[in-house]
Structure 1
Amino acid sequence: MRLTRYLRAGGWKGAALLLLGMLSANVSAHPHGWIDLSVRVMTDEQGRVEGLRQTWRMDPFYSLVVLEELQQVEGESLDVALDQLGHEIRDNLANQGYFTEVYLNDERQGLGEVTDYTVMERDGRVSFMFILPLQTPQLLTGGILRYQVFDPSYYLEVVHEADQGEPLESALVLSSEQECRLDILPADPDPERVMKAAMLDVDEQATPGLGRHFAETGEVACP
């Protein structure tokens, strides 16, 4: 998904054009935007997984462009503009499965509709927070839950929150006190795919599904 698809055609069209202009002047390969991800696996009292609470922190450059444009929208406060942006983001992501795939014991899980979400600004970064429910809660005990969050076109790169290349403990947490092992597994793309991604220009469309090969995998294993 292009970054500009997050911006509505009216009050935010200027931000879209500015963003594309600056990107085309400085970037010549995929990805063109970055998201820092943190996930809380939500469980109920029976130990069933109900969904994933995700926080996406947009990269500083994208955040700056969006915030500057939103502050220029006449007749709306920044909070109101951010709320509207959150609605646009949610609607766009709904058409693409919220960029998220979830598996339990290698069986893909159906996803529900996102109704709990918000957008806010913190320390100059725009954050989109939402709860992505499973269609049917699943018992986690004795199983392995895996998820990936990625833009299929690899226009955006999604990586877990990290410090000096190492994922933070807060990047993947479990809401219950179950004895589970939590891991964030790095992507291991084929060198040929890395080269192809590096050669894509800002206006080129990546092969559908390219982003999957660059996606980290969150894993929750509960004995």
Structure 2
Amino acid sequence: MSFSRFISLLGRLAPLVGCVACSEVSAHPHVWIKYTARVEMQGTSISAIAETWRFSEGFPVQLAGIDSLPDNGTVDAKQTALFKKQAFSSLAGLQYFNHLFVDGEPQPFRDPTDFRVSVDHGKIVYTFTLKLAKPVQVTKHQVALGIWDDSYFVDYETEPAQTAVSIGGHAAAACTMKSFADRDHPIFGGFVIPQATAISC
């Protein structure tokens, strides 16, 4: 599957194809991303989520203007801009598949910053930071973070031998995290229960 076709299906935003709506196509994931997320905190407040997405092996890239990529290393600035324009910014309406809930209410994010693309042994890797529209106070609130695609076209998995979600920045020592099955937000029509992380301080 070409990268441009993936984006058309993935975001339900590009006008090229509409197969995501077809049950035969959307019946299971077609793109796999291993991710890590670092919750940036100041004391007991969350200010941003810093993420790494590592696409599955064999995931091809066919973007206009990109003829070749390195086997390993950082993609140059021109190619990074093409990735952002053609295969990343269209996910803004989906908040880049990030779901941060405070007492059950979804929290908005600003536009991503520090977007970078690299290749690690032939696999495409995105890194970026999503700042919250305003900092979230964790104390005395129920706070949970999940990264998933509601359509289940993209499957988000944790990086092997790593903690998928961690605390960064200058968090208070009392802040902790715990993974759980988020049964309040089932995806793919209720057939799949996504994993999320509860954050408490």
Same fold (TM over 0.5): yes
What are the Cα deviations for residues 118-160 of structure 1, in whole angstroms up to 9, with x where unaligned?
Answer: 1111232211111111111122234332112112221110122
Structure 2 CA distance for aligned equivalents of residues 113 and 33 of structure 1? 23
Return the TM-score normalized by structure 1. Answer: 0.65
Structure 2 CA distance for aligned equivalents of residues 135 and 78 of structure 1? 29
Alpha carbons of 1:177 and 1:148: their partners in 2 closer, same or farther (altered >3 Å)?
closer
1:122 — aligned with what?
120
2:188 — aligned with what?
210
Structure 1 CA distance for aligned equivalents of residues 67 and 137 of structure 2? 45
What are the Cα deviations for residues 32-90 of structure 1, in whole angstroms up to 9, with x where unaligned?
Answer: 1101110100123x43211211111101111xx228994449xxx95232441133333
Structure 1 CA distance for aligned equivalents of residues 81 and 50 of structure 2? 18
Aligned length: 175
List runs of 5+ in structure 1 lacking aligned partners.
8-26, 194-208
Secondary structure of the residue that 1:116 maps to in structure 2? strand
Tell me, yes or no, if structure 1 residue 56 matches structure 2 residue 47. no
Structure 2 CA distance for aligned equivalents of residues 108 and 68 of structure 1? 33
Structure 1 CA distance for aligned equivalents of residues 134 and 63 of structure 2? 41
List runs of 5+ in structure 2 lacking aligned partners.
9-24
Greater fraction of residues in helix: 1
85-94 vs 210-219, greater mean Cα deviation: 210-219
Aligned counterpart for 2:137 among listed residues 113, 119, 139: 139
Structure 1 CA distance for aligned equivalents of residues 26 and 45 of structure 2? 44
Check conservation: 2:63, 2:82, Cα contact below 8 A. Answer: no
Alpha carbons of 1:162 and 1:142: their partners in 2 closer, same or farther (altered >3 Å)?
farther
Return the TM-score normalized by structure 2. Answer: 0.71
Cα RMSD of the aligned pairs, angstroms, is: 3.4
Structure 1 CA distance for aligned equivalents of residues 62 and 120 of structure 2? 11
Structure 2 CA distance for aligned equivalents of residues 148 and 211 of structure 1? 17
2:7 — aligned with what?
6
